[in-house]
Structure 1
Amino acid sequence: MTTLAELYERFVPSDCPVALRAYDGSAAGPRDAESVIELRSPLALRYLATAPGQLGLARAYVTSTLEVRGDLHATLHALLAHARGGLRARDLAAALRALGPWVLRRPPLPPEEAPTPWRRGLVRHTRRRDADAIAHHYDLSNRFYELVLGPSMVYSCGVFPTADASLDEAQAEKVDLVCRKLDLRPGQRLLDVGAGWGSLVRHAAEHYGVRALGVTLSRRQAEWATAAIAAAGLDGRAELRLLDYRDIGETGFDAIASVGAMEHVGTAQLDAHFSGLAARLRPEGRMLNHTITRSSGHHGGRMGPVIDRYVFPDGELQGPGTVVSALHDHGLEVRHTESLREHYAMTLREWGANLERHWAEAVAEVGERRARMWRLYMAMSRVGFDLDRIEVHQMLAVRTGPRGAARMPLRPDWERARASTPGVALR
């Protein structure tokens, strides 16, 4: 009879430093391994067999039928770094023959999993479908996000001024960097698309003297942000609306920021997305687009099944060249772009540490299965940035005015000293 350890060795190279301990008593891999995968029950095999690859792994991990002993990020990093280039059909067939047909009986799916894409509707990125997708992820629990994100309540990568900077320092630097790149001045009007919990609109209003409008599709984000704006005494200077950005009526903004929002737009909608934003921006106004990107334009736009089913339903990523082209196609001349890939890996490291520090309270807020999914999602994403499977870019563009006027500096000047001490408005 074939043991589970023997099957494991078919899929994992012998030099991989991750061991296996299985419920049938068999073991594989280094005896002194710091990373150990435990297969706790036959149910784990059914998840893995009926959805080979990352989705089956996620289902088994979320339901605790599969456990990882040791650092989850290090374990996933080792498995992916030593991967043979995908699951081979002959190995899968041999494993199924050895296990028997029972393993193909699909087990109940975790209730935290979103429906398959075809069950969400015939057309992607309608207003209703986008609102449902945002609610699935962002309307989870404001307290849970406080535990994971920390006082900044910024859910995008920080910019670490030094390797030993704190997460709060990195997020304060990122928010202020956005303001500096946009060259915000007192009295100007800022639009923040996908404004989250309102950290940017509060910081821009308080420290740069602008009138800032943010929009979000998350009801809980809007409620939290509105309360934070009032507590900071910024009513009349900063506003957060529960609104689809496509329904914004105002135009003539001096600057537009989109930080971590374009991932929800969809490749087919990029033209409409950027043309709509360009129409709301005054000539010579600046737009900053901060988004996760593919490392290559050859990859498909849609996210993998784990992210689509558990994290960001209908999310899509594009190569940076695709995004730059779409900006230019609608009168937004890209003047500067930079990759912050390593910064996002560091940010995810800190979010993961926050989750572990507050594990009991996080579980009380959202349940153990969802907390485990977040642990897995952040570790997987961190590995993706580590290995350059995914990247993140800030792209600064300007809507050129008559005869090409742009009012841009001859050289980037946003690394100058901050306009004021950052971080105050983030707390």
Structure 2
Amino acid sequence: MTSLKLDAGYTPPKKDLYKAFAASLSGTSLEWYDFAVYSAASALVLGELFFPAEDPYVATIAAFSTYAVGYVSRPIGGVFFGRLGDKIGRKKVLVYTLLLIGIATFLIGVLPTHSQIGITAPILLVLLRFLQGIGVGGEWGGAVLLSSEFGDPNHRGFWASAAQVGPPIGNLLANGVLALLTGMMSEESFLSYGWRIAFLLSLLLIAFGLWIRLKLEDTPIFRALQKTGDRPKKPVTEIFRTQKRALFAAVMSRLGPDVFYALYTVFILTYATKSLGLERSTILGAVLIGSATQVITIPLAGWLSDIINRRTLYAIGAIGAALWAYIMFAIIESGAFWTLALSTVVAGTCHSLMYGPQAAYVVEQFTPRLRYTGSSLAYTIGGVFGGAIAPLMFTLVAGPEINPLPVAMYVTGACICTLIGLFIGRNSAPHEDLAYMEELEKVRQH
């Protein structure tokens, strides 16, 4: 039997821990590839192909509005899949979300454009983006719990960061594929069929993710909840009745990272190509470098948050992001590739200081029996008010002339909201997990 001591922490078999880390990392990476490829394509081609307008500015706003649909639909996925995750288990739900996102992304890749089927094309695009968002809304909470609930709760910052590395890897893959396609093809070929290849590749990636997740058993914490019968009957109702402060703190903490991420991975594509007149391949390459850096800085930040106070590290990242939003626009005016790359690396590092500890911070706001629901609600609601409307708001406040100052001010406001969320939230409480594991051991022994 495993000895469980509160001062030492619970350590599961390393084999299970590594498998859970890999399943969380690979699954979120593949799902975020699907989500990120749409995000990048919305800035590069989707406005022109699905929302034709005489004014390119209007077409861009329309494309970013559809981008927002993927965030607005997330709370539906958060409520539906979060509730299931607390009732039937983390693993089963994560298989369902992976399938949903993969199929929706593949169908976008074969979708006829406005010139082929008229108004039906943007309607179907919005519907598929909506389904993508539902899947992502249910994915994040489960992926975080998959890795963090297999690990020692005293080191949750590092283990939970597995799910956080998924977005930059997904963004790296998506922008890498698009950069390769735009570099190899003519403008005409890319607009005709090249962009579709990036979406169609998702089918192979999702198959790989399913293979990994189906081989893993559910988390020790959920198995403890099963054994003790301590699963909630109405988790959503219970969250709003008993953990309103926790939910508010977690939602607010999400706003700064989401808005800042949209700035240096999505809006920067529009700004660089339309205001600075740079080639698509140039800015995609710069974003690629920034995303590659985060594959290292996110787990590093998660690890650091286990050593120093998690909220303090998170706050440092929020302050850094608020300041860099102004500096970034100033230094990329030259249009030099390495200046662009440096700006995305620094931006990614500031984001990592928030995003690395974020999974652990959000999870720790809720008790284990309500964790999937609470985390999913916080993630999806925060996404609606943060990342969903950010590119659209950036475009609106910047105006047709693309003035970067109002955009930087918008980022500052979001980071202030994050600081408020950190101030009212609570610190890590590993004893809650350890108590559940001790109960599971007692059941096993009897």
- TM tier, smaller: under 0.3
Name the one with the larger strand percent. Answer: 1
Name the one with the larger helix percent. Answer: 2
TM normalised by structure 2 equals 0.23
Structure possessing the higher radius of gyration over alpha carbons: 1
Specify which structure has the bigger relative contact order, considering alpha-carbon pairs within 8 angstroms and separated by 6 or more residues: 2
